Amino acid sequence: MNTVITIGREFGSGGRELAKKIAARLGISYYDKEIVTEISKVTELSEEYIHSIIENNPPMILPFTEARSFYMSDTLSLQSNTVYAAQSDVIKKLAESSSCIIVGRCADYILRDINPMRIFVYSDDKSKIKRCRENASENEDLTDKQLLKKINGINKNRARYYRFYTNQKWGDIRNYDLCINTSDSEIDIIADAVVKMFKKEKVGE
């Protein structure tokens, strides 16, 4: 049976870096943006557009029965659902084909039947700002307040997207096996610890 880890992560928390490091230590595949490429092949929508649907233009939080047309066009709504369906297929196939780590994209929920190890990575505001400044030059002109607003906006969209498709709360402990606050921690040390927990438990050393 494949070893599958899903990592939900707040933007700016270092979750992507942690995922890469755990994957490298365990010697298993790592999927993040690769999923978007696969969805693009299936749906024939551009990668940029898919990324925008997933990260920036999630469906509004409204029951399906309400008039969504006020908030998003029928075309966008349809495409959002098409993208989610393709995303589910791609993620399930990846998890079936080999041991892997899948970052974001409701993978913990999509793969619930195979019981992956579900990790959520988060951090405090100060740490998020610091990480974003280190990793992206395009934020240079922003004040800390402006940058935090941008970060919080992205995370709000992620939470909304997760809630819409899973009917669960993003970052609620009930939906994860391990929730890690990276604020005062080195990602390398966390990766070592997670691997220790994971290897013995799921792979069996």
Residue from 31, 109, 122, 162 touching a copy of itself (CB under 8 A): that is 122
160 contacts 61 by C-beta, under 8 angstroms: yes
Would you mind telling me the total number of residues written for the chain in this entry?
A: 205
201 binds a copy of itself (CB under 8 A): yes
Strands (E), 65-141: 100-103, 117-122
Residue 146 sits in the site that holds a copy of itself (CB under 8 A): no
Residue 173 binds a copy of itself (CB under 8 A): yes
CA 105, CA 110: separation in Å to the nearest integer?
9
Q: Specify the residue, 23 or 190, whose C-beta has the smaller distance to a copy of itself.
A: 190
Query: Amino acid letter at 106?
Result: C
Which residue in the set 8, 15, 58, 171 belongs to the binding site for a copy of itself (CB under 8 A)? Answer: 171
Q: In degrees rounded to 5, what are phi and psi of residue 91?
A: -65, -40
| Residue 114 near a copy of itself by CB under 8 A | no
Instruction: Pick the binder of a copy of itself from 55, 89, 144, 177 (CB under 8 A).
Output: 177
Non-local CB neighbours of 187 within 8 Å, separated by 6+ positions: 14, 17, 18, 21
Residues that bind a copy of itself (CB under 8 A): 115, 120, 122, 171-174, 176-181, 183-186, 189-190, 192-194, 196-197, 200-201
